[in-house]
Amino acid sequence: MEFLHASFVVAFFWLMVGHSLADYPLQGDFLAQGKNRHTPVGAIFWPHAIFAHSMIHAGFVALVTGSIWLGLAEAVIHAITDLLKCDNWIGLRFDQTIHIVSKFAWAVIATSAFV
């Protein structure tokens, strides 16, 4: 498969490392509860918490790809996805699938694998 050249694989690998850090150890209980407006903490902090969590992801994407624009796109898609999960429109597995597909797309765009 042509899109599996070295630069794509390296970019996707580091995007997934960033995702793993940002969605698990760097999220912590405060952000996990705070980004959900249906929790006691989230009732107060959800706009700030979802913004902070999404920007952590955006930072990793921007660092790996070298593109602030891809980082901002990540922030928007990540926030929307997490809001849908917190409102029970989607489950955890679909949430994670969207996050992984997004990282795949950023790697493709950043490495121009299909161009």
Q: What distance in Å separates the CA atoms of residue 106 and residue 74, rounded to the nearest whole number?
A: 8
Burial 31-49 (b: 16+ CB within 10 A, else e): bbbbbbbebebbeebbeeb
| Tens-place pLDDT, residues 41-93 | 999 999 999 999 999 999 999 999 999 999 999 999 999 999 999 999 999 99
- The pTM for the full model equals 0.90
- Per-residue pLDDT band for 112 (boundaries 50, 70, 90) equals confident
Q: How many helices (H) and strands (E) does the chain have?
A: 5, 0
Q: How far apart are CA 62 and CA 104, in angstroms?
A: 14
| DSSP tag of 2 | G
**Tell me, what's the pLDDT at 10?**
94
Contact assessment for residue 86 and residue 36, using Cβ atoms and an 8 Å cutoff: yes
- Cα 85 to Cα 30: distance, rounded to the nearest angstrom: 17
Report the pLDDT value the prediction gives residue 107, as an integer from 0 to 100.
95
CA–CA dist 100, 83 (Å, integer): 17
